[in-house]
Amino acid sequence: MRITDIRDLAVKMEGNVANAFVSFVEHDISLVALVSDVVRDGKPLVGYAFDSIGRFAQSGILRDRMIPRLRRAAPESLLSGDGKLFDPAKVLQTIMRNEKPAGHGDRAAAAAAIELAVWDLNAKILDVPAHVLISQAFGGRGKADGIEVYAAGGYYYANESGATLKDELQSYADMGFSSFKMKIGGASLKEDIARIESALTVVDGDGSRLAVDANGRFDLKTALAYAEAIAPYQLRWFEEIGDPLDYDLNRRVAEAYPGRIATGENLFSAQDIKNLALYGGMRRGLDYFQMDPGLSYGLTEFAHAVAVLEEQGYERSQVHPHGGHMINLHIAAGLGLGGCEAYPGVFQPFGGYAPECSLGGGMVHPTQAPGFGLEQKRELAPWLEKIIG
């Protein structure tokens, strides 16, 4: 059994939205396909994955470093001990050969796209949904009854779009979502409070159903001012308050803010997460960790980070991955995490779920398609065909 071809494709995301720091107009994502010599119904099985949302495509790192390393590897060196599946950890080790520790950055996303494609391929070899394989691989703690989900959006739209925050969140409610997340920090505090109050009308004033995300925008003074202003609304959480690596700022806000804090989407290794747990003031049983497997070397490293948190006394229910797409839905369900994000209205063709995913009561269920089920996502299907065409 061997990988016969490795392909990548940079796919531009659709939409003209911005958060407090960046516009997504120019963003693209690396889509990866691993073609195997395992044949079903007359066609080779292909593992697909991408490097998640919020960064850029990693074409150079993939084509110049990681894909050549994988091509040169002896086929048997990439297999599990029994030779029946590909070993994601061995693949990750292969593509990371000669890379120094730390300095994670964009290479963490490039590696993740390849490593996650291995999970998709393995699940297809076994003819099971990815969340079933993931649960089996990591102790059988998956959630077969679905995973809690919230609709992320509430971006700052270009003036000419005509979109309003309230209309956007109401459209998600009409789809069946009951909890939501919006952006702050891209306007004045006064304007953002008005936006929060507008968003709260969609959830009948129930702050526990609305989270806010500053995308790392605030310095300490501004962070504390926002914390004081939003505390009376008792919001679902206050996300990525300051620079992701400013653990002291996060700790000082946690000491002043009684509500839940969420962060971690821009930390790309288990060691980074350990440092956050040790020095960032994160509170056991309350705050959320939001690491994204597609931005942090894939599921192997992500599962390690979850284990590190548990060693520090945190619960896996405090992990809610960033990303809002099919891959992280399967990972959250397979590992039995607290919940996951959804992008039902932005970041196409990657954001959101296939229509076959059932949604109700704030819970979503992955489909029973083999692998991550990316082929069922209508917006993404043409790109899957293009990459192997």
* Active-site residue list: 183, 322
Chain mean position to CA 38: 29
CA-to-CA separations, 270 to 64, 121, 300, 332, in angstroms, rounded: 26, 25, 10, 17
**Tokens 């196409």 -> residue:** 348
The rounded distance, in Å, linking the Cα atoms of 66 and 62 is 5
CA–CA gap between residue 33 and residue 11 (Å, rounded): 13
**Radius of gyration of the chain from Cα atoms?**
20
Q: Which residues contact 99 (CB under 8 A, 6 or more apart)?
A: 65, 107
H/E stretch holding 372 reads: none
Whether the bond into 349 is cis, omega within 30 of 0: yes
CB-side neighbour CA atoms (13 Å) of 174: 7
Spatial distance between the Cα atoms of 30 and 13, rounded to a whole number of angstroms? 11
- Alpha carbon 163 to its chain's center: 25
What is the distance, to the nearest Å, from the Cα of residue 342 to the centroid of all Cα atoms in its chain? 9
Q: Indicate the helix (H) or strand (E) that contains 301.
A: helix 299-311
Tokens, residue 372: 């991550």
Of 43, 35, 45, 52, which Cα lies nearest the Cα of 128?
45
